[in-house]
Structure 1
């Protein structure tokens, strides 16, 4: 007899199990669902089978073939677009010239098809639906029948007040060919929603068959695990692969189970597996083919697919591990968690219950995964990075995540704390900020919402309002699909690693403490921030001399939050201001004003309009770069050297902090002006920490970040721009003339790819390569030569290294870069090939 198996669905609810695999090919007890269905059909002489396929259909046809190895004949019908359950069967109407069966490919059942067929014929039915009884029928379409099985009504997804039947449609039908003429060709058409109600309306005889059989819709990971367990406890009658070596313990050919391993029935272990001494394969576990299970591993109630590796001390409970997953030593995967194909889970990691990890992810050792991991490649043990918490909006960082994060921070601060929070001008930032506010309020925190605000002003507001802490939310221009959340202490400094660890501990271990309703925090919208900041800048800067000169300034605000304050500040200082990219509207995308192209545009404008200076602020006004009156772009290192010279002259010496990558010329300037240079690791936080530790009078980076500790412990591009204007006017010269006093130097930078897992080996071999040279290992390895230096360090991106070089000429600097880049490439090649 003929049967049609509907296998065109995407299996969305089963992802990540179905990310690379069609849903019908997902294994139940080490055998694809589709094979179980084909074996059932064959048992009842349905041996001429048509499979309708769509999503990943080629994989189905390649894996199943023509059915000859299963003792049946199989042909395929391809859907180039979704046609619905009935529409897919309509495509093969010409092949269905007798009574035929239709069955869904995402169910597990042991229905007696012979008895159902007999029922169908005896009733003279044109359509017989296999029905089963459900304890909670509201999740399904219910069917009303009389005592003879005749169907008299359908109800899709009823409410509890409409549940007058517990019979539900199983997706198994016996049909007469004549019903196909009512299905529209090449149109999406559904059996239960359209065809069967139509037949009922026509008065055609349709019946519901209820027998004593097992049926389960494998619609989600929980049901998938349940299906495997039901096979093991023999709740459903299916064929189990492998030899039953003991009661309810099945083991496949070529599998090596150590005599001192513990197998507790019922379990299924596939072919060519290795189970080490002391490993425990606990009840209700299915192990696929080619799986390695190390000593002290404990696998309980779990489903493990082919070629997975389970290292020493791993604990799995009631979870699903897909193909080729590697679980590091002592990692834990909790109940109903699902790990997709080809993932690497680091040692001592914890995958929390019900979490899903999509294929090809690498989870760093010691991580605790409490949210689904769908995008990106790496998941670190800490969700804090160099710029706070950054992730894909509505995937990695959702409103729900932000609310929990806000409550976490509030728990850490305790009820009654005061937090300043601000954002950039993007709607996604507003959404996440409001979610954070809700979380903070729930923990009893008083929130000062300063709305759209440049980052230096958010930090400044913490002091202005005597707040306990601060939070900023921004959509970085480098990735328009991401969001960045940063937390600050009472001084406006990014919270330290200890605080980050406490936040993670509260968040991951659900230690959040929310207050009773009467103590929920309030939200205030203060308005004095701009006014106080402007006044304080004008006190710090001698604006009277600027007003006398009235310099012409071209100001690029990058369409960022500085647009709302920077132009007015420079006007108050007495400047003639021409603003570029000073639009805050959502549709006006922020731009990176510090790129070479943007600076060239600024340079052109300065020359055309005869301005005294061009100022480029980044999107949140933390950094600033400059163009002189001739239109020449001032290199970041040159500007840093100039600022240091100004500050040391003003203070008659003192300690100044710069990163390890800053030019050696700075040392020369410091020595000439009674200064002491403190070097920090690259990055904003290491710089601030060193400034605080050494009580520095100034700190800066060659990327345009300048810190005036007397004013605030934060990079402030607006203040830095006002300061350089003051110095130009005070010294009665031009920026061009001031720059001519800075010694000439040449710096270059290069980023090269290095696989993340090779980082350690590359660093060790670089130290060997640098043997005999004077080196520093403050941040990476810095190698000194007579004519310059080269700094090599792992980059902020997982698979990169950064190389910096400085020399007496550009050619020498480029040669240094090329030489050490070649050495790194040779090291990587040697690691990969063993040569």
Structure 2
């Protein structure tokens, strides 16, 4: 008799285990489920089997290598497109002349197929469905049967109130040739949805054969784990391909692991046991697995080639082929590490969480969501904040966690939140707000801002922490400290750890925080721009260029109120975030932000004796401060200690240093006060040039800096070196994937040459 094995399913509910193999090849105690199905067919003397294939079907063909299996002649039928259960069988069997058995290639059973076929023939059925009683009928397609076994109707996964039967359709059918006349070839047709109801309608003899044997539809990870435990406990009649020693099926000599394995269990070949390993009852260990000292496997499934480091534990979870668990890491019930995935030291995959194939979980991380996209579930604050693709790596869920973690850094902290003016940025902001409020902390909502506007709101409100979210395909979450200044590294580390480990406060329902609408602070920003001018700007005309319509609107409104014209001989270029200013005219070309900063800082020193600027501001500012008898302080982008604490406090007194719109107003005010043209102002700027560059490196950048330095340099952000024609600062990026070069010299051309020189040195150090 011929059998058709339906083996084309993707096994989506078994992912990530089925990302790189078809579901019928999923291993059960060292062998694919498909082999157990073929064993059953061979036992009942089936001599031919055709497999319907679709998803990764060639891997099934390769597994059997074109050979017969225990006397069964194997053939294969590829679906040209998904044809459904009946359509795929019709495509595989062109001209049936005898009864055909249809069986699923991804369910394990030990039914008596011989008796089922005999029942089918004795009852003269057109089709016989093998059915089994189940404990929870809600999860199955049910069959309503009369006393003589004839089928009266079907129920597809009903609610409990509709469950009038507990007989489940197992997906195993015996079909007479007449059934094939109801299946249109080349069309998508389903047995349960179309063929069998049509047979009832035509009053064709449709019967059910109840078998009390074992049947498990391996539809999800829970059933995948449970099925193998049932095999080890002898609940299913099947052949496990390993010698049995005291209830342990093992291909590995266990003398060196005496007492480490409790029966029943399965141990593949060449398994390495460390000291103090515990493999508890119900566990399955594949071939070439390494279990480090102190590892514990409790009812888990460890597939071929996996490596568990010292102290790792798997409690009823699944570790995929070639996956690696770090020291003291853990995977819990139905948690999964996919093929070649890596779980970092001390990290945890909780119940039901899945890590897709090849993904890496950082050290000290507790996942709370599946890791399917990207290379890491752990957040990392880099130079631009927390960045990634919107709704891929930067999701509403992540923003909620960040809000909760930030609010948990300090008891009673006030968190301020704002976003850019896109729908996705607003949605992400609302998620961050929910996280903050869920901890019991209060927050101030600054509404929709551009970034320099947000920094002003932070300055005026003096909130403890701020979150600014922009999103336009790529999302960016900027997190700042009081006054809108960069977050210290100690706080960044606490935030990263809290998010990655899901460690944050959770308030009781009546103690959630309150959100206060402070979007009106934007109006104060407009007033502040006007106040920045020392006098009316009548007689001056400028053009404005910016990619941000809100930046243009706010600046134009301020200039018009100050009497400034919106046409002129030079153009103000404002960055989209509102933080950078450059100037262009046909007469002198572009004047970059750093030169305008030097000009305005020099003017500031005419009346003030202290000023704080970012660490990377031009070094020529130190000379200008000294010429005015003033003191210049620098604050770091990400300080590791409190050495720049005074500079950070001082920075709030000169917000124009970080605000392109304020700089623009101050520049025009300077021209009016000193009665000079823009050309004359530009001519007064000291001669210097700057250049910067990113250099990608594949090694730890600190080794490069160590070789370049002599150990006597002052500890700061990166390595500062004096060279013949200027200065250079080399700073690793936070991700460790490269270094930033900042050069300063008498001209931009020379600064670029310095960058060229050190880029070659950095690349040479990497190669050495």
TM-score in terms of structure 1 length: 0.83
Q: In the alignment, is residue 694 of structure 1 matched against residue 656 of structure 2?
A: no
Separation in structure 2 between the aligned mates of residue 735 and residue 644 of structure 1, nearest angstrom: 16
Equivalent residues in 2 for 1:428-577 (5 A)? 428-445=424-441, 447-462=443-458, 470-475=466-471, 480=473, 482-488=474-480, 491-493=483-485, 496=488, 508-509=501-502, 512-517=505-510, 521=513, 523-526=515-518, 528-542=520-534, 544-546=535-537, 548-559=538-549, 561-562=550-551, 565-577=554-566
**Contact 1:320 / 1:338 at 8 angstroms: preserved in 2?**
yes
CA drift of 1:644 comes to 3.1
Alignment check: 8 A CA contact 2:541 2:568 kept:
no
**Closer, same or farther: CA 128–457 of 1 in aligned 2, 3 Å:** same
Partners of 2:295 and 2:311 within 8 A in 1: yes
The aligned counterpart of 2:606 is 649
- Alpha-carbon distance change, 711 to 26 in structure 1, aligned in 2, over 3 angstroms: same
CA 1:422–1:259 in 2, change beyond 3 Å: closer, same or farther? closer
Compared CA separation, residues 469 and 779, structure 1 to 2 (3 A) = closer
Aligned partners of 1:295, 1:574: CA distance in 2, in Å?
A: 77
Cα gap change, 1:528 to 1:131, in 2 (>3 Å): same
1:121 aligns with 2:60: no
Give 1:113 deviation, angstroms: 1.6
**Contact 2:544–2:552 (8 Å) recurs in 1:** no
1:425 matched to 2:421: yes
Give the equivalent residue in structure 1 for 2:573.
615
Q: Map Cα deviations across residues 284-326 of structure 1 (whole Å, 9 max, x no partner).
A: 2211111111112222221111111111121221111112222
- Measured at CA, do residues 521 and 309 of structure 1 come closer, stay the same or move farther in structure 2, by a change above 3 Å? closer
| Corresponding residue number in structure 2 for 1:68 | 68
* Counterpart in the other structure of 2:247: 248
Give the corresponding residue for 1:787: 725
State which of 366, 387, 392 in structure 1 corresponds to 2:364. Answer: 366
Matches within 5 A, 1:228-267: 228-244=228-244, 246-252=245-251, 258-259=256-257, 262-267=260-265
What is the rounded CA distance, in whole Å, between the counterparts of 2:657 and 2:208 in structure 1?
73
After superposition, the C-alpha distances for 1:187-221 in whole angstroms (9 at most, x for unaligned) are 22111111111111111111122111222222222
* Cα distance in 1 between the residues matched to 2:766 and 2:339: 26
1:145 alignment partner in structure 2: 145
- Deviation of the 1:723 alpha carbon: 2.2
SS at match of 1:365: coil
2:685 to 733, 742, 745: 742
Paired residue for 1:704? none
Contact 1:658–1:677 (8 Å) recurs in 2: no
- 1:672 aligned residue (627, 630, 648): 627
Does the CA-based 8 Å contact 1:789-1:806 persist in structure 2? yes
Cα distance, 1:328–1:414 mapped onto 2, change above 3 Å: closer
**Which stretch shows the higher mean deviation, 450-459 or 213-222?**
450-459
| Cα deviation, residue 152, structure 1 | 0.8
List aligned pairs for 1:148-187, cutoff 5 A. Answer: 148-187=148-187
Q: 1:45-444 counterparts in 2 under 5 A?
A: 45-68=45-68, 71-94=71-94, 96-244=96-244, 246-252=245-251, 258-259=256-257, 262-380=260-378, 384-403=381-400, 405-406=402-403, 419-444=415-440
Offset from partner CA, 1:532-568 (integer Å, 9 cap, x none): 22223322332x232x233223131434x53553332
Partner Cα separation in structure 2 for residue 803 and residue 541 of structure 1: 36
- Deviation per CA, 1:611-640, whole angstroms, max 9, x where unpaired? 33322222x323444334637222343334
- Asked if structure 2 preserves the Cα contact closer than 8 Å seen for 1:128 and 1:209, the reply is yes
Q: Deviations over 1:60-96 (max 9, x none)?
A: 2222332436543222211232111111112123164
**Cα deviation, residue 170, structure 1:** 1.5
Secondary structure of the 1:378 match is coil
- Does the 8 A contact of 1:492 with 1:713 survive in 2? no
Q: Could you say what secondary structure the match of 1:94 adopts?
A: coil
Matched, 1:725 2:681: no
Residues 9-20 of structure 1 aligned to structure 2 (within 5 Å)? 9-20=9-20
Relative to structure 1, is the Cα distance of residues 521 and 780 closer, same or farther in structure 2, using a 3 angstrom cutoff? closer
Residue 639 of structure 1 pairs with residue 582 of structure 2: no
Cα distance in structure 2, aligned partners of 1:772 and 1:434: 49
Question: More displaced, 193-202 or 439-448?
Answer: 439-448
Q: Encode CA deviations 1:348-390: one digit per residue, 9 max, x unaligned.
A: 222233221112222222222222211111343x554445544
CA contact (8 A) 1:183 1:195 kept: yes
Does 624-633 or 265-274 show the bigger shift? 624-633
Partner Cα distance (2:631, 2:462) in 1? 33
1:801 to 711, 729, 739: 739
**Does structure 2 retain, via aligned residues, the 8 Å contact 1:327–1:345?**
yes
Residues 91, 694 of structure 1: CA spacing in aligned structure 2 closer, same or farther, 3 A cutoff? same
Work out the CA distance in 2 between the residues paired with 1:389 and 1:467: 20
Which sits farther off after the overlay, 790-799 or 502-511?
Answer: 502-511
User: What is the distance in 1 between the residues matched to 2:502 and 2:705?
Assistant: 40
CA distance in 1 between counterparts of 2:196 and 2:703 reads 71
Residue 763 of structure 1 is matched in structure 2 by 702
Give the deviation of 1:414 after TM superposition: 6.6
* Partner secondary structure for residue 143 of structure 2: strand
Q: In structure 1, list runs of 5 or more residues that go unmatched.
A: 578-608, 699-708, 831-835
Q: Partners of 1:278 and 1:99 in 2: how far apart? A: 56
With over 3 angstroms needed to count, the CA separation of the structure-2 counterparts of 1:555 and 1:117, relative to structure 1, is same
Conserved? CA contact 1:16–1:357, under 8 Å: yes
User: Alpha carbons of 1:438 and 1:806: their partners in 2 closer, same or farther (altered >3 Å)?
Assistant: closer
Matches of 1:57 and 1:487, distance apart in 2: 49
Q: Is the 8 Å Cα contact of residues 656 and 663 (structure 2) preserved in structure 1?
A: no
Deviation at 1:338, TM superposition (A): 0.8
Give the drift of 1:744. Answer: 3.9
- 1:658 equivalent among 604, 614, 623: 614
CA distance in 1, matches of 2:503, 2:747: 57
Q: Against the structure 1 CA distance between its residues 282 and 806, is the aligned structure 2 distance closer, same or farther, given a 3 Å change threshold?
A: farther
Q: Distance in 2 between matches of 1:138 and 1:362?
A: 37
Compute the TM-score of the two structures, normalised by the length of structure 2. 0.90
Query: Quick check: 1:614–1:626 contact (8 Å CA) kept in 2?
Result: yes
SS in 1 for 2:158: coil
Give the CA deviation at 1:826: 4.8
CA shift in 2, pair 1:790/1:106, >3 Å: farther
Shift of 1:6: 1.5
Change (3 A) 1:693 1:345: farther
Identify which of 716, 732, 735 aligns with 1:778: 716
Alpha-carbon distance in structure 1 between the residues aligned to 2:752 and 2:265 = 63
Matches of 2:331 and 2:656, distance apart in 1: 42
Comparing 503-512 with 524-533, greater Cα deviation is found at 503-512
Larger deviation, residues 301-310 vs 73-82: 73-82
Structure 1: how far apart are the matches of 2:751 and 2:70?
68
Change (3 A) 1:418 1:133: same
